[in-house]
Amino acid sequence: MKSHGHDSNGHEDMKAVEWEGKPFSMTVKSIPVPRIINPQDAVIRCTSSGICGSDLHVFHGRIPAILPMTMGHEVVGIVHSIGEQVQDLKVGDRVIVSAVINEDLLDGETKLLGGLAFGTYPGIEQFNGGQAAFVRVPFATDNCILLPQGTKHELDYVLLADIFPTANWALDASGFTFGDVVVVFGAGPVGLLCAYSALFRGASKVYSVDRVPQRLAKAKSLGAIPIDFTGGDPVTQILKLEPDGVNRSCDCVGYECVNAEGVNIGNTVIVNAINVTRSGGGIGVIGVYSPEDAGAATAQEKKGIFEIPFASAWFKSQSIKGGIVPLRQYQPVLKKLIESGRVKPSFVFDREIRIEDAAKAYTEFSNHDFIKTVICFEGGGSDSVVEDKEEKVEQPKKRRRNGGPA
C-alpha cells in the first residue's frame, strides 16, 4: 500500500499524522516528503511507527507545541537518502530512529537537542516526527541505529526507539537490585515493559497498579500482581501484603495520572510512591511532568509544581530520581537481548493499523480501548516479523474496537 505520491504541481507528498493545536483531535493529511536540509541529515522511509503514551500529552493539549507538528518518535525504517557528511549509513540500510535527538560534539560530549515528539517548547528546535511515510533525521550518524537487513524483530526494534529503554531506566532510577520487591504505577505500554523488565532482571515480586482491566490482565499474565485502584487505595492494598513497604516504586504515568474516579490529580502517583516505599528505598520517575501544562487544574500545576510529602521521604531516607531516558546507555544491550531471543517486548502491541486510521486510533488509545498500536507502512508490522525462513513467531492479534478478532 503506497502512502505517498505527487500533488497537482508534481511535488512528492506523503500522508502524515499532524497535530494542529486542537485538543483531542489529530489529522491525517498530505504534506511534502522531507528532504535533506543539512549535510548531516538522513531521510528515512518509515516501515513501522508506534503511537506512544507521550504522544497523548500532545493529543490532550497538555504540552505547548509549535504548529503544525508531525507526530511520532518510535520509528523503524529504511534509509532513503543521506547528506554528504553522514557516516556509517548508506541508502537501503535498515535503522531505528532514536527518539531523543543528540549531537555528538568533537570534544566527546553529547548535546541533547530534544526528542522528535518533544522538540516543541519555545527556544528548542522542532523536529517533525515519524508517523509519516518519511522522516528527516538530523545528525543521522548519531541518531540512527543500524539493524540487520530483512524484517526480523520489526516490532521489537520499534520499542528500542524509546519505551523499552525507558522502562529499564525507571528501574535503574529507582535503585533497583536483584531480589527487590517493586511496584510499577501504570500498566500502559511503558508500565508493562517496566514490570516485564523487573521480572527478567530478578525482582522477587512486582506489583502493577492500574484501573483498566485489560491492562491489569496483561500485567498478571507476565507474572506481576495486579492492583486495581478503583477497588481501594493502592497503598493500603499493597501495605497489607508488604507491611514494611516495597523496595522500589516506578512512576510510569506522570502528571496525567488520575484517582479512582478518573479525575486528573497530578501528584497522585508520586505521593503514593512515597507512601508505599520502605525506608531506604527508591523511586524512579519516568512518567512525564511538564513545566508548562495548559490543561492543569491549578496555577501551580500549570507550572509543573506539585505538593508532595517530602518530610516523609526525607525521614525514610528515600531516593527519588528520574528524567528523560539516556537512550544510548540501554539500546545496545537491549538490542542484544532481543536478538538472542531472551526478551520479546513487542508483546505490548495488540493492534496494527494503516496511517489512514491513525486519527481515530489516538482517540481509542486515549480511551484505553487498546494497549499499544503500531502504524504499518510498506514492509512493516508483525506480518513481516519472521524468526527464520520456516517458522513465523506468534504475532499480536489484529483486533477491532469491540475487542473481537479482525
Encode pLDDT of 65-78 as tens digits: 778 889 999 999 99
Strands 134-137 and 42-50: antiparallel
Question: Cβ contacts of residue 221 below 8 Å, gap of 6+?
Answer: none
- Is the distance from CB of 89 to CB of 144 less than 8 angstroms? yes
Domain boundaries, the chain: 4-162+326-384, 163-322
Is the pLDDT at 157 greater than 70, yes or no?
yes
On the question of a common fold for 4-162+326-384 and 163-322, the answer reads: no
Fill in the DSSP letter of residue 405.
B
- Grid look-up 524483530 returns 153
Q: What local confidence, expressed as pLDDT, does residue 400 receive?
A: 34
Bridge partner residues of 376 (DSSP): 48
Fill in the DSSP letter of residue 21.
S
- Answer CATH for 4-162+326-384 from 3.30.360.10, 3.90.180.10, 2.60.120.260, 3.40.920.10: 3.90.180.10
- Answer CATH for 163-322 from 3.40.190.10, 3.40.50.720, 3.30.300.30, 1.20.120.520: 3.40.50.720
Q: What local confidence, expressed as pLDDT, does residue 378 receive?
A: 86
Residue 219 phi, psi dihedral angles, 5° rounding: -60, -40
Is the pLDDT at 268 greater than 50, yes or no?
yes
Nearest partner of 194 among 141, 251, 137, judged by Cα: 251
Q: What local confidence, expressed as pLDDT, does residue 125 receive?
A: 53
Is the pLDDT at 24 greater than 90, yes or no?
yes
pLDDT classification of 3: cutoffs 50, 70, 90: low
pLDDT digits (tens, 9 = 90+) for 53-67: 989 998 999 887 778
DSSP collapsed to 3 states, 255-296: CCCECCCCCECCCHHHHHHHHHEEEEEEEEECCECCCCCCCC
- Is the distance from CB of 238 to CB of 246 less than 8 angstroms? yes
- Is the distance from CB of 137 to CB of 219 less than 8 angstroms? no
Is the pLDDT at 243 greater than 70, yes or no?
yes
pLDDT digits (tens, 9 = 90+) for 284-342: 999 999 888 888 888 998 899 999 999 999 999 999 999 989 999 999 999 999 999 99
Q: Which of these ranges, 21-35, 39-53, 166-180, 369-383, has the smallest mean pLDDT?
A: 369-383
Is the pLDDT at 406 greater than 90, yes or no?
no
Is the pLDDT at 117 greater than 60, yes or no?
no
pLDDT digits (tens, 9 = 90+) for 342-380: 999 999 999 999 999 999 999 999 999 999 999 999 888
**3-state secondary structure at position 395:** coil
Q: Report the predicted TM-score, pTM, of the whole model to 2 decimal places.
A: 0.88
pLDDT classification of 101: cutoffs 50, 70, 90: confident
**3-state secondary structure at position 400:** coil
- Is the distance from CB of 167 to CB of 143 less than 8 angstroms? no
pLDDT classification of 386: cutoffs 50, 70, 90: very low
